[in-house]
Amino acid sequence: MSMTVTEAVARTYLLATGKTSALAEGSTKYEKILSLFNLFTESWAGEAGVDWKSLRLTANVTGTVTATDTFAIPTTLAKVSQTRGDFVRIVHAGGTVESDYTVVPIERLYDDGSKLQGAGGFRVAVSGANLVFDTAFTATSPQFGGTIQVPGYKVPAELDAGADVIEVDDPNWLCFITAAEYVRNDITRVQQYGNLVAQANNAMEGMVQDNNSQTEQVTAIWSPGNGTGGETW
């Protein structure tokens, strides 16, 4: 199911007000709805416990491992996959795999404040906007100079033009939740709020079920930095 911004704005306005009149692009009401679209699309992409298969990265960025244990997560990633069977991987030229790292909660990376090597393999954790490995790399590490491959999910493109296509799996969810927010503080329409939220919740449940029925796994290649957030991607 696909829907352009223009189509979604019209549907949202109809749900919120019952009016079929088209909103002019750039008008106050149009821009309000568009702003909510971007807000809720970001919220959808970061939905806890869900890795949206439609957001798997297809474009790759390459780089090399440097002498540190902390690397900035590229801004193109909404989040790093923690799905069973997904690994952060360090690969050398020619595709030779040097090491696989299991993504674990940050508290499993430490023991009394010290770094540890996991008995079941190497570990890496997400800490804020960084990936932290279970041991610092040095120039003599076998991983040094390798490329880090990270299974991850992209940040949806910001919606701007009327012809932009909604990336949310079910655009109806975006229309329902946006319409709900549109009427929430409108005393003449607030009675619609509960019903719109209920429809949004039903649509979300359907998206999650459809997403969980898919099994495709794709790995995105990530170029590491020094963890300061100053890298260029």
What is the model's pLDDT at position 219?
A: 46
**pTM score, whole prediction:** 0.72
pLDDT digit string, tens, across residues 128-154: 989 999 889 999 999 999 988 888 888
What is the model's pLDDT at position 111?
A: 52
Beta-carbon contacts of residue 115 (< 8 Å; ≥ 6 apart): 69, 109, 134, 135, 136
- DSSP code string of 26-71: TSHHHHHHHHHHHHHHHHHHT-TT---GGGB--S-------SSSEE
